[in-house]
Amino acid sequence: MNNPYAQYQTQNIATAPPEKLLIMLYDGAIKFLKQGLKALDEKKYDDFSYYISRTQDIISELMVTLDMDYEISKNLYQLYDYFMYRLIHGNVKKDRQSIEEVQKHLEELRETWVQAAAAKEKATI
């Protein structure tokens, strides 16, 4: 790996605490949704499907990493499952509203995790 940026990213991911990794996953999903919506606007449907698929991959990862011993995890699982349903619908029907709905919810959840991570960091100082 000769690319210094790629080396930095790999190191950043390898050493990140779990809450930072979670936020990075949300960032990736939101980024892919924005790129997908741009592709949809440009009628680049193959690109649109690619970006929606990448978002689905991230949501799948979020789903499998949940600790189902906790009620909040069960609730998040149901929410992620709904996101998957809306993304499939949006991808098949080329429905912007479905994609924007998921993006809005992911942005809200991301903000919640950012606040939780900040509170955790403050508590450990």
| 100 SS3 class | helix
Contact 4, 98 (CB under 8 A): no
* Sequence-separated (6 or more) residues with CB below 8 Å from residue 61: 25
Q: Chain-wide mean pLDDT for the chain?
A: 92
Give whole-number Cα distances, 92 to 21, 36, 48, 85, 119, in Å: 30, 13, 10, 11, 40
Lowest mean pLDDT among 12-16, 44-48, 116-120: 12-16
Looking at 3.40.1360.10, 1.20.120.340, 3.10.129.10, 3.30.465.10, the CATH number of the domain 18-124 comes to 1.20.120.340
- pLDDT of 123 reads 82
Confidence check: pLDDT of 8 > 90: no
- pLDDT of 93 reads 98
Residues 48-82 pLDDT 10s: 999 999 999 999 999 999 999 999 999 999 999 99
Domain ranges of the chain: 18-124
Q: Which DSSP state fits 1? A: -
- pLDDT of 2 reads 72
Q: Which residues of 52-69 are buried (b: 16+ CB within 10 A; e: fewer)?
A: bebbbebbeebbeeeeee
- pLDDT of 89 reads 99
Q: Which DSSP state fits 69? A: T
- pLDDT of 35 reads 99
